[in-house]
Structure 1
Amino acid sequence: MFVVYWLEDGSTPTGIARFERFPDDQMTQALAFTETLRRKQAAGENVSFVTLCSENPRSVGKAGASGPPADYTWKKRRP
């Protein structure tokens, strides 16, 4: 799944948070929508903080970083 997030109405201190969802097979449409918002922002419209996020529903592991395995030994290599 893809989600585009942005803020509208810069006249308020917090703005109005908006988002638009796209299915995982519509990455091209999500990118095009993001570009449309960024062009509005560049033209001076009240659009800011435009970002595209994705989440892979077929991921085999949990999202994020994990610690090293128990048997891992770190060594600093010097030239």
Structure 2
Amino acid sequence: MFVVYWLDGNETEPQPGFRTFGAEEMSAALKFMESLREQQRSGERNVAFITMCSENPNAVGKAGAADPHADYNWTKRRGNMPRAKRDLEEKDFESD
């Protein structure tokens, strides 16, 4: 699912707007955004802050990890980065 958001009107009293698009309608959402930008450039419409958000309704897990389950054990190791790799090697050496 895609949602295009924008502000209509002047800077002191802008009105929020949005339009939703289905999961298979990304091209339509992008075309709609471009039409808003064309109206903005031509001065036909006072519109600003044109943006799009998406959410995958078929995601494997629930979004977010604010309240992870007890068995959630994710770590990020940056062993492929030179400094991080050196630090990991030094820690391994110190533990011997």
- Given the two structures, how large is their TM-score scaled by the length of structure 1? 0.76
Aligned with residue 74 of structure 2, among 41, 45, 69:
69
Query: Percent identical across equivalent pairs?
Result: 45
Structure having the larger proportion of residues in helix: 2
Q: Which amino acid aligns with 2:21?
A: F
User: Which position in structure 1 is the counterpart of 2:17?
Assistant: 18
C-alpha RMSD of the superposition:
2.7
Is the contact between residue 78 and residue 85 of structure 2 (CA under 8 Å) also seen in structure 1? Answer: no
User: 2:62, 2:18 → 1: CA distance?
Assistant: 24
Rounded to whole Å, the distance in 2 between the matches of 1:73 and 1:19 is 39
Q: TM-score, normalised by structure 2?
A: 0.64
- Equivalenced residue count is 76
Q: Which runs of 5+ in 2 are unaligned?
A: 67-72, 87-96
* Structure (1 or 2) with the greater strand fraction: 1
Comparing both chains, which one has the higher relative contact order based on Cα–Cα distances under 8 Å and sequence gaps of 6 or more?
1
Task: Mark the CA change 1:64 to 1:29 in structure 2 (over 3 Å): closer, same or farther.
Answer: same
Unaligned runs of 5+ in 1: none
Counterpart of 2:24 in 1: which secondary structure?
coil
